[in-house]
Amino acid sequence: MNARAPRVYSTQAIVIGQREFVEAAKIITILTPDIGKQDSVAKGILKPKSRLAGHLEPGTYCDLELAVGKNLDIIREAQTISRFRASQQNLMRLTTLVYVLELVDKYTVDGTGSDLFEPLLVTLKRLDIGENLSAVVHGFELMLLEITGFRPSLNQCVNCLSDVNSVQANWSQDGGGIVCGQCVSLVPNTSLIEPKVLKVLRAYQSWPYEESARITIDSYLEAQLSKIMHGLMKAFAERDIKSADLLEEVSWRKELPEGRVIS
């Protein structure tokens, strides 16, 4: 019997990353709504006339047609739906986009993460229209932790599970949440968390986005939020998140208005 034609399927995808492969091919890491994260091969993408070129850059939202391969599936057609151009043209938003993609990559393995597709797509759209960056990025971090089973405990003590008032809370990065006054001597490596920082994190975790995005964040507060969340994202991933450091360097906090937050 002759070899059968390869099985072909279509899917929407967000390109998470790419790397060099043999000859003019690249391996493209994509996130899809059905399969989740997977590596696929883009043959000939480095050739000048490749139809795939330009449609598979990291952060691109696209329609793909793939053929099932022996090891990796082969991308046969790619059509950009959105490249989120505004994000590409602003250093702060571009760095945030790179960070968000890296988070998805670090918190998934092949064949998982299909439930991150929609939240990621929504986040890339919000980033592109320049919405409140603090609410967009920290809201995404907290949702990612929730979906992947790492929901931080922002209302109950991680040690005794009692409800903790924001004024009396301590922070445990390793424990993944807050520690009450009674337990603080029992839990190693705790630090202080300011009440307003905890209040904003609670809002980002549990309020509807439209409401939490209305909170005014000043530069000092954003520095505290970023420090806590970057530390948490690295600790749970159990590896470095390089773009988190980059994000702190770009320091969008300086662009934020001076203002106070919810009391």
The binding site for Zn ion (CB under 5 A) comprises: 157, 159-160, 180, 183
Distance CA(64)–CA(56), nearest Å, equals 10
Neighbours of 198 (CB within 10 A): 21
**Smallest distance from Zn ion to CB 115, Å:** 32
Nearer to Zn ion, 12 or 153 (CB): 153
Alpha helices in the chain (DSSP H): 85-88, 91-106, 117-128, 133-147, 195-206, 209-212, 219-237, 242-250
CB of 178 to Zn ion, least distance (A): 9
- Closer by beta carbon to Zn ion, 76 or else 151: 151
Residue with tokens 């202080």: 192
For Zn ion, which is the closer residue by CB, 35 or 180? 180
The C-alpha atoms of residue 188 and residue 135 are separated, in whole angstroms, by: 30
CB closer to Zn ion out of 159 and 205: 159
**Rounded Cα–Cα distance for residues 243 and 230 (Å):** 10
Dihedral angle sign, alpha carbons of residues 119, 120, 122, 123: positive
> From the CB of 190, what's the least distance to Zn ion, in Å?
11
Alpha-carbon torsion, ordered 221, 227, 230, 234, to 10 deg: -160
Q: How far is the CB of 171 from Zn ion (least distance, A)?
A: 13
User: Residue 225 Cβ, how far from Zn ion at the closest point, in Å?
Assistant: 23
CB of 154 to Zn ion, least distance (A): 14
With 0-12 / 13-18 / 19 or more C-beta atoms within 10 angstroms meaning exposed / middle / buried, residue 173 is middle
Closer CB to Zn ion, 160 or 192, in the complex: 160
Residue owning tokens 């040690």: 159
Please check whether residue 199 is in contact with residue 165, taking contact to mean a CB–CB distance below 8 angstroms: no
Distance CA 256, CA 252 (A): 7
255 by Cβ neighbours in 10 Å (0-12 / 13-18 / 19+) ranks as exposed
Q: Which of 74, 184 has the CB closer to Zn ion?
A: 184
Distance in Å, CB of 165 to Zn ion, minimum: 12
Considering the complex, state which of residue 136 and residue 158 has its C-beta at the smaller distance from Zn ion: 158
CB of 55 to Zn ion, least distance (A): 52
Our CB check for Zn ion shows the closer of 29 and 170 to be: 170
- The vertex-31 CA angle with 145 and 100, nearest 5°, equals 45
